[in-house]
Structure 1
């Protein structure tokens, strides 16, 4: 890979000249006694573009000896040589001593010349190029040890390397923190949802029902009893011609929300348009999917598009909102009980897919508090959704910032010398 217009004080050196580069091995899989010990064993799936401290599998001393293994020290940089287009070039740096399998190339840099994290980030920068070369030249995408050894790496002075690595690691840590917060908020929402649909908001005694324990004042109703009508969408072929009307399809019903990122369009008669036009509050159920647990997922149409129709693999349910709010019903379908009810009633087809129909949806049992309490539960869960959305947006922004800074710092277009000077003054 050429590196034009690098700063004049940077050197361009083949990685093999300043590093010990080797790969590992895999103990015989027919010998289970080789596995499950105290030695961490890194595979390509463990590489995370950061610090690797945990591995999916471990091996014991017998397994280690069987591959004539070497325990790689902390700060060893690793890169995936093969494993498919989505894996080639993935990297990580050891935070604990470990050994690796043969698909992982271990780079032990001369730490007097190379900062491990600078090298890690440069490998992340190189990955798109390696992937293009691997996919373009081989049926089974891979990069060889020789390619890695001969790859020329820009080598700023060590203090500048550390400043570059520090800048990128700071952004990466911020993103990791947001992702941890996001995971916790998703777990909190799941727990909150489970609690609210079994205890309510009024701290009242509970009673046993076919859905389990629910507050005494709540009823259990079939969705069909509080539904004005159910309807299948259009089966007419949709395309990318935006002169037609947008049609919501299975890919547009994701995570309990309407996603307008992958739209197709259709031209229908005025009567068909009138029949299939979505109204605010319409519930859209996915009626077929290759995975049983995804069959029956749904979302509320909340005006994400000014006008929208829906396709035949979706079922529209319009509820009687004097009795049941669509957002309440949608949140209930995301609980363990709600998902279980729908997925268990999905029938398998000869094409390997699972299906529900309007009768399945009509039969869904759902707890029904009064409208005011439904609203309170909706508000609590929507507040959690807003926090999740904000954290997702922050994580995306930080990832974009990391990629932009990676490009600027690794090409020398943005200098880290000011950080070096600040540290020297401090």
Structure 2
């Protein structure tokens, strides 16, 4: 495929942003939207958070907005006139380029721009680097067709993101109601946890089963790891929510000598330390496994408590658990098994617990479906972006009926 320099005549105009005085900013919608970095970007279009009633550099509707300071090379498309700050360049299509094709061609060029960025503190690219960038440029009808196909897939990804967010919002509202009102329409009573149905008890996690945590066998001892077959889990696995497989394994020697607990299926696992968002996440164990010291387990008495119910309630307490770990627990930066044993939760009779779990599981399946669809679409987009930009395939060779099969295949996988 023919390539040209981005700054060639009639291909594109490059406009570097310039930040106005901070006194010109406002959060009330007065003036034009102001964008100054990748933090403002959505999937396709930027999201205004700040407005500006005085600016020196402007973008117009359809301009490609590019982050020119770390992270370098991320792109969005301006929905209308806006002010751009020093972290943004507006790239305006000329008569030789289709705006949407230009957007995807620049998205494809991100690795090249990253490799050309300079600066030890904040990597950035200058106007000369952008103007000198090689981009593919087929004939205009092919550009339009490529832009349309890739935009269609991107919009479908954006739609799946919206559906995931909507389903997660529904789940949050449902959880709040389910754990305070139940499913029986009972009158409520006031408790230490707030209002709950009259027939529900308030119990502590420690009354429902055994609580403990694990350890990490020394990596330097080969007998603990080499040829290991027993699943050993870290706190990263709690993101699975239902843990059905392990990534690491220990030997029987490690189990015997390192005092590792053997945790049975049905236990609830909680990340009690962790960087980022890990701490406070929980999952239900579906296999027999052992754990490291950053994970606590609750081996429940299943005649008293459904593990899915406990996981669901703990998910509503995520922010509280993190607050405790940040300062209120006995060990700063971590939860303790002692704290978990004393943690109170509302508990209906077992049949209602399972009915509540069934409601939450149905919502989770819906979320999982949309995540799977999004993942398939993202892989399709990456493959097509490369093949179309390199000329490996042409738009008229594509079978877009594959998009129609994504939903059916993903629904079958989740069912």
Aligned length: 387
Map of 1:379 onto structure 2: 358
CA contact (8 A) 1:287 1:356 kept: yes
Q: Deviations over 1:5-54 (max 9, x none)?
A: x2xxxx4221111222121111233xx354443211122222345233x3
CA contact (8 A) 1:247 1:311 kept: yes
Q: Deviations over 1:75-97 (max 9, x none)?
A: 111212112xxx21001121111
Q: CA RMSD in A?
A: 2.7
Residues 183-194 of structure 1: matches in 2 within 5 Å? 183-194=165-176
Map of 1:51 onto structure 2: 45
Distance of aligned partners of 1:259 and 1:355 in 2 relative to their CA distance in 1, 3 Å threshold: farther
1:132 counterpart (115, 119, 125): 115
1:25 counterpart SS class: coil
- The answer to which of 404-413 and 151-160 deviates more is 151-160
Shift, 1:258, TM fit: 3.4
> So what's the TM-score if we normalise by structure 1?
0.83
Distance 2:353 2:289 in 1: 27
CA contact (8 A) 1:349 1:355 kept: no
Residues 193-212 of structure 1: matches in 2 within 5 Å? 193-212=175-194
CA contact (8 A) 2:214 2:260 kept: no
Map of 1:354 onto structure 2: 333
1:160 counterpart (142, 147, 162): 142
Name structure 2 gaps, 5 residues minimum.
399-415
Q: Deviations over 1:222-281 (max 9, x none)?
A: 111222x222202323589562233111111126443857x3343352535895222111
Map of 1:146 onto structure 2: 128
1:75 counterpart (62, 84, 87): 62
Shift, 1:378, TM fit: 0.6
CA contact (8 A) 2:325 2:332 kept: no
Distance 1:348 1:258 in 2: 29
Distance of aligned partners of 1:139 and 1:43 in 2 relative to their CA distance in 1, 3 Å threshold: closer
Q: Deviations over 1:70-126 (max 9, x none)?
A: 33221111212112xxx210011211111201121111121x211111000001111
Shift, 1:294, TM fit: 5.3
> So what's the TM-score if we normalise by structure 2?
0.85
1:14 aligns with 2:8: no
- The answer to which of 145-154 and 269-278 deviates more is 269-278
1:232 counterpart (201, 213, 223): 213
1:323 counterpart SS class: coil
Map of 2:286 onto structure 1: 302
Q: Deviations over 1:134-187 (max 9, x none)?
A: 37x966422221111011222222121111100101111111111100100011
Distance of aligned partners of 1:287 and 1:417 in 2 relative to their CA distance in 1, 3 Å threshold: closer
CA contact (8 A) 1:43 1:101 kept: yes
1:355 counterpart SS class: coil
Map of 1:38 onto structure 2: 31
1:147 counterpart SS class: helix
- The answer to which of 323-332 and 249-258 deviates more is 249-258
